[in-house]
A and B are shown apart, each in its own frame.
Chain A
């Protein structure tokens, strides 16, 4: 799709959107699907294909291949997918050439579940259920059934340079107003105060802005959650931040990469837990962590977004039972592999409480703080019923509020209309 056929004729690009996908489905993609030969057995063992997105950390691919090889009851082939994994997987699930077992960010989407593309995994957890982070299990369940098993917890949080803050006489901010003041004070000719992504926070602050005002995407009864003056106030603060000239914009790397922070382009950055090894290497102990602060002294609470890649089983698999057994073996039974996966390569928090206690890297310093935030301030990135269409409506609104200065109250009303139509579609 994002190739370089700039000078083609109409039908070529038209195809790329509408029909290209159908073609993909018709021909079953034709490419290597990760299975040796679909459904066949080698030496009496079933054959399974397992898909992962490309993890950035060295050693991860070898690790998952090793796990797959050690599984005694099936021949598991791992497909490691660089590029746009979500879209690739979603399309492959429509075909017979898709994976048997695959991971998906925050579990399968509501439309995958409603479309019957993934199978119910509720019975795999058994006694271990209470050991998994409850917010993650809740996020991956629909109508009491579990569709994904969390592999590892990821989170986003605010990191700051201790030395820079103390040199400027700034205390770690506890409210959004303090954060704005701190960012302003920390901004110099060479360093900006805060970095929340090159889009000014549109991509990652949508959730924290609501939680910090004591609200959420949806209410507990699955109705629209932020038609509220506090949300208006909170979104207005993001606009204020954008126009304050203390925000780093147009950096060579985005929020998910620590380079802007480690290279001294910014004093504070909202980023992911996975950047810790690089930050520690560059700055040693000279950094601290905070959750996104609450709106003001009287409203809201600090928050951090929490997400997880989860392992799911495709309903089109020819060996659903064998696939379920493999998922249970790897992501429920083999706790040493789960700990290895969370700790040995990148920097993640295990998805199970008993393993968090065993994780040496989480026992002290900023990492221990981060693990504490997950339990005390963690929110699932977006609710299961928050569909991509709702997501687009909200990020469009955030763009207009933050970048153009549109009135948040009007924009929230527009989002509400889209979200309510989507909720109705799902319920119907």
Chain B
């Protein structure tokens, strides 16, 4: 290569870099940057732009409306209630999934036999489609008729069948949603925790054993502090996931073109407003921006408290 280099103009040579490094960098990175730009960044920017326009049935609107879409969304009681519901939902589901997946990881990490088997068993649901899981939950396990799995079990105790997803008093639908979500997600976070657990140096445990520490003390003073980086990442992922809830909610609760006003995630609400026959991209985008800001705020707050990326001491 260096033989032919002098023949080229100095600028091209400099641009291509030593051993054509820059050229190869562009060849390998370029397509992905381009894809990211076209499919991620431009749409995000576009969506922000749309949120300032009256954009019914068009993505190239001309009527600028300033902040009125934002004001409408904030004044919209349904949107506010969907946000409030999901703050509550996050407050419940995040710690629960955290504890369950950590518990599973601790158990499996200490399993003396069939460790790979259990690890696979708990991880497998992650590979299952949310839609498929929702249908199994809706049609088979929590079917409202007397021969549904849960109702059959209840029937053994002489309890009348419950229409799990149809009634709101008491709100049994939460049981269906939460169990489906736990089943689908716990395994994935368990794997993250397992990876974290396996990185803890055995010498720490040996030292603890010599000092006479055991059980809870080891967990409290060695395992948990050592898992801090993993825990923070898991918490952040869980939180974002909770606010982005869509698939299982939509597939469990929507019917005949409508979605009930309870347990309605912000994304489902925006989906009905912005897509479908609604095609109101202005309000939909404004809602999406509000939701993004909210997620960013909560995530930042959480980081301040827990410190993601802070150097481990």
Q: Which residues of A contact B (CB under 8 A)?
A: 1-4, 6-11, 13-23, 25-27, 86-87, 90-91, 93-94, 109, 111-112, 114-115, 117, 190, 197-200, 202-204, 248-252, 254-256, 265, 387-389, 391-392, 395-396, 399-400, 403-405
Contacts and interface: CB of A to CB of B under 8 A. Distances in A.
A133 to B, nearest CB: 22
B145 A14 contact: no
17 contacts: A2-B250, A4-B131, A6-B185, A15-B43, A17-B284, A111-B277, A111-B280, A115-B56, A117-B57, A197-B255, A202-B258, A249-B167, A250-B142, A251-B143, A399-B258, A403-B166, A404-B168
A252 B143 contact: yes
Given A250-B166, A387-B278, A404-B169, 8 more contacts: A2-B251, A6-B184, A15-B39, A15-B43, A18-B285, A23-B42, A202-B255, A202-B258
Contacts of B281: 21-22
- Residue from B129, B148, B161, B240 having most chain A Cβ neighbours under 10 A: B240
Given A6-B184, A115-B58, A249-B144, A15 B165 contact: no
B130 to A, nearest CB: 5
Nearest to B165: A250
A94 B57 contact: yes
B230 interface: no
Contacts of B247: 2-4, 6
B90 interface: no
Interface string B46-62: 11001100001111000
Contacts of A399: 258, 260-262
Nearest to B168: A403
Contacts of A405: 169
Contact of A254 (B244, B255, B262): B255
B206 to A, nearest CB: 35
Given A197-B255, A252-B143, A252-B145, A14 B274 contact: no
A310 B181 CA distance: 40
Interface string B246-261: 1100110001111011
Nearest to B281: A21
A86 B277 contact: yes
A403 B167 contact: yes
A21 B275 contact: yes
B240 A23 contact: no
B111 interface: no
A15 B143 contact: no
Contacts of B164: 250
B158 interface: no
Contacts of B279: 90-91, 109, 111-112
Contact of B143 (A9, A190, A250, A395): A250
B78 interface: yes
Interface in B16-46: 38-40, 42-44, 46
B276 interface: yes
B288 A250 contact: no
Interface stretch (B5-13, B209-217, B289-297): B289-297
Contacts of A254: 255-256
A210 to B, nearest CB: 16
B291 A14 contact: yes
A400 B43 contact: no
B169 A15 contact: no
B83 interface: no
A180 to B, nearest CB: 18
B163 interface: yes
Interface residues of B, number: 76
A250 B145 contact: yes
Given A11-B40, A91-B275, A115-B58, A18 B289 contact: yes
B190 interface: no
Nearest to A200: B166
The 10 closest A-B pairs by CB, nearest first: A250-B144, A203-B256, A19-B43, A249-B163, A18-B288, A18-B47, A115-B57, A250-B163, A249-B166, A4-B129
A122 to B, nearest CB: 21
A15 B44 contact: yes
B308 interface: no
A265 B42 CA distance: 52
Contacts of A256: 256
Contacts of B280: 111, 389
Contacts of A117: 57
Interface string B72-90: 0000001000000000000
A73 B229 CA distance: 68
A199 B58 contact: no
Contacts of B50: 18, 22
A8 B281 CA distance: 23
B166 A400 contact: no
B177 interface: no
Contacts of B251: 2
Nearest to A393: B78
A1 B246 contact: yes
B126 to A, nearest CB: 8
A251 B138 CA distance: 9
Given A251-B145, A391-B258, A199 B42 contact: no
A117 B60 CA distance: 13
Contacts of B47: 18-19, 22
A7 B129 CA distance: 11
A396 B253 CA distance: 13
